[in-house]
């Protein structure tokens, strides 16, 4: 005959084991919840996959030698590359001589040539960026708006080319090879934060 106390002990032990399993599964599930947090990308279509790739392409441009046909071979064609904006003569003047107090003779020789060439000169402005925003941290704190942590990574490249009669006379490159930022916002009221702010406005 099986004693009732033994049955109770066995039943209690079994229930305890199940509770342990449930707790372990819950912890495991929550540990992986951060992968469910939102991620976003801000990318512009480009032939370059990195800052170094863009820099290498522009390194092949030689003022007074490189032609518009050469630029097309380097994927620098405004008709095919959405990152390129065409600057007309007025745009060039606004960029390099924003006010009359600036002495044009102090500008780079290529810019002076462009200014002197008037409407025979145009520019290409390149602006490419690749930015990724990844939320990380505690899933429930984030989803309930108590605390949100965001990692921002990527790079940004920009350049200006001045062209006279299909020949590049000036180039200027810049940008940010590495972007790595961390953002954190804390809201003590969580999902009620917005409502609380609205009440006291």
Q: Where are the domains of the chain?
A: 1-31, 39-199
Q: What pLDDT score was predicted for residue 8?
A: 47
What is the structure's pLDDT at 137?
A: 78
pLDDT means per 10 residues, the chain with 201 residues, are 49 58 49 59 71 93 97 92 92 89 87 93 92 80 78 92 97 93 79 57 51
CB 111 within 8 A of CB 117: no
pLDDT of res. 15: 59
Q: CA-CA distance, 187 to 167, in Å (whole number)?
A: 56
Q: What is the pLDDT of residue 149?
A: 84
pLDDT at 24: 47
What is the rounded CA–CA span in Å between residue 200 and residue 160?
Answer: 48
pTM value surpassing 0.75: no
């Amino acid at each position: 005959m099986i004693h009732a106390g033994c049955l109770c002990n066995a039943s209690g032990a079994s229930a305890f084991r199940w509770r342990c399993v449930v707790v372990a599964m819950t912890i495991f599930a929550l540990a992986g919840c951060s992968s469910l947090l939102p991620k976003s990308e801000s990318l512009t279509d480009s032939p370059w996959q990195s800052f170094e790739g863009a820099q290498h392409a522009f390194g092949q441009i030689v003022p007074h030698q490189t032609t518009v046909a050469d630029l097309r071979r380097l994927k620098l064609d405004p008709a095919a590359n959405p990152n390129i904006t065409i600057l007309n003569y007025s745009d060039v003047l606004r960029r390099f001589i924003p006010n009359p107090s600036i002495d044009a003779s102090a500008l780079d020789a290529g810019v002076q040539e462009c200014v002197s060439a008037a409407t025979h000169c145009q520019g290409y402005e390149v602006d490419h960026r690749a930015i990724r925003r990844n939320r990380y941290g505690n899933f429930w704190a984030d989803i309930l708006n108590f605390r949100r942590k965001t990692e921002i990574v990527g790079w940004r490249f920009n350049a200006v080319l001045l062209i006279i009669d299909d020949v590049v006379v000036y180039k200027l490159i810049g940008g940010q090879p590495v972007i790595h930022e961390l953002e954190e916002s804390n809201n003590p009221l969580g999902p009620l934060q917005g409502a609380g702010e609205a009440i006291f406005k």
